[in-house]
Amino acid sequence: MAEKAKIAVLISGRGSNMAALVYAAKSSDCPYEIVLVASNDPDAPGLSLAQAEGLTTFAHPHKGLSREAHDAIMHDALVQSGADYVVLAGYMRILSDGFVRKWADHMLNIHPSLLPKYKGLDTYQRAIDAGDRVAGCSVHLVTAELDDGPVLAQTEVAILPDDDADRLASRILIAEHQLYPATLAKYVTREADPDWILAQVRKRALALEETHERPSFGAPGWRVGSDTTGKYFAYFAQSHHGEASIALLVKTTGLDEQAALIDADPDLYYAPKFYGKSGWIAIRLDRGDTDWEHIAEHLYRSWCQVAPKRLSKMLEIADQF
């Protein structure tokens, strides 16, 4: 199994979600391990549970400190712990923009509502008062705006006719304890998930001018130009002609460049079956260390090879400025 992702959990109170993560991490096939439980409240009940489980804890009260100063102290503790990801579990602090930026795409939060509904506090009563049929919980990436980052997963929880906020909260909490460990496991292993990899390629291919997606022999492919005269500049290869790897196929300037690339990095590049003969190159996407800017560059260069003159001319002109 690949090395486990290192997780720091931030709590402010009870820490039941932290406990759910800690117990999930005890399973040998869990893809993450908890390296730190930290709090802005030295008396947070969750800290004693974490200590009893033999985990490293850290606490620093925020009282008398600016938001930035407190966040900087927490950040240092996180870095010291070797954490790859920060997981907020009832951490009732608004975070400074700088802190959020440092952990961009590496910080998750759980919130007791079906986001984008009911950001902030008092989510249960607001759902009941609105006459909603279902409430629930969401795990999302943390961005500068409160409870606003991309939602990774949600669980719906039915609202019963005689529910009050407490009863509803206790059922949502059960759902939270299922959702958070599972979503975190999926997120930290996303770079090995073919669907995630495909979404990354798709986003970058379709960001180029006048492109569209069209499957070719069952594999996703991207073309530049019109529906009728467009030409392929990329293919997504998953078990392409029996090859085991997940790879992106793009055009090079020819067999010389193809050979030079393979020579320079034989673990990353290979000549794909069938397409290899005409100067296409395969770039492995399943090694867990993909440089996506580099992939975007390859897509662009391949696009340039086949884009209609009118489009590449426009770019040549733009390049002169």
Burial of 175 (0-12, 13-18, 19+ CB in 10 A): middle
Binding span for ligand GAR by CB under 6 A among 61-69, 105-113, 186-194, 223-231: 105-113
H helix intervals, 82-122? 97-102
Minimal distance in Å, beta carbon 296 to ligand GAR? Answer: 34
Which CB, 21 or 78, lies closer to ligand GAR?
21
Nearer to ligand GAR, 41 or 200 (CB): 41
In the complex, least distance from residue 116 CB atom to ligand GAR, rounded to whole angstroms: 13
Q: Does 13 bind ligand GAR (CB under 6 A)?
A: yes
Q: Nearest residue by C-beta to ligand GAR?
A: 90
Whose tokens are 């003159």? That residue is 309
Q: Is residue 89 a contact point for ligand GAR (CB under 6 A)? A: yes
User: What is the C-alpha radius of gyration for the chain, rounded to an integer number of angstroms?
Assistant: 24
Within residues 124-163, the interface with ligand GAR by CB under 6 A covers 147
For the CB of residue 53, give the shortest distance to ligand GAR in the complex, in Å: 15
Neighbours of 284 (CB within 10 A): 17
From candidates 5, 9, 10, 17, binder to ligand GAR by CB under 6 A: 17
Which of 5, 10, 11, 34: binder of ligand GAR (CB under 6 A)? 11
Output the CA–CA distances (angstroms, integers) from residue 25 to 30, 58, 168, 182, in the order listed.
Answer: 5, 19, 27, 11
**Whether 111 is catalytic:** yes
By CB under 6 A, is residue 34 in contact with ligand GAR?
no
Report the C-alpha gap between 275 and 292 in whole angstroms: 23
Tell the smallest beta-carbon distance from residue 120 to ligand GAR (Å): 7
Q: Which stretch binds ligand GAR (CB under 6 A): 11-19, 95-103, 125-133, 271-279?
A: 11-19
CB atoms within 10 A of CB 153: 16
Cα(72)–Cα(61) distance, integer angstroms: 12
40: tokens are: 């802005």
CB of 219 to ligand GAR, least distance (A): 41
Residue pointed to by tokens 């008062």: 129
Half-sphere exposure for 175 (CA within 13 Å, toward CB): 22
Closest CA to 70 of 79, 59, 56, 86: 59
- Does residue number 15 form part of the binding site for ligand GAR (CB under 6 A)? yes
Cβ atoms of residues 96 and 68 within 8 Å: yes
Q: Which of 62, 75, 106, 111 is catalytic?
A: 111
**Buried/exposed 208-233: b ≥16 CB within 10 Å, e otherwise:** beebeeeeeeeebbbbbbeeeebebb
Q: Which is nearer to ligand GAR, 163 or 210 (CB)?
A: 163
Binding of ligand GAR by 14 (CB under 6 A): yes
Residue 10 belongs to what H/E stretch?
Answer: strand 5-11
Q: Interacting stretch for ligand GAR, rule CB under 6 A, among 31-39, 109-117, 157-165, 289-297?
A: 109-117
Member of 72, 152, 165, 173 binding ligand GAR (CB under 6 A): 173
Active site residues: 111
Q: Give the binding site for ligand GAR (CB under 6 A).
A: 11, 13-17, 89-90, 110-112, 147, 173, 176
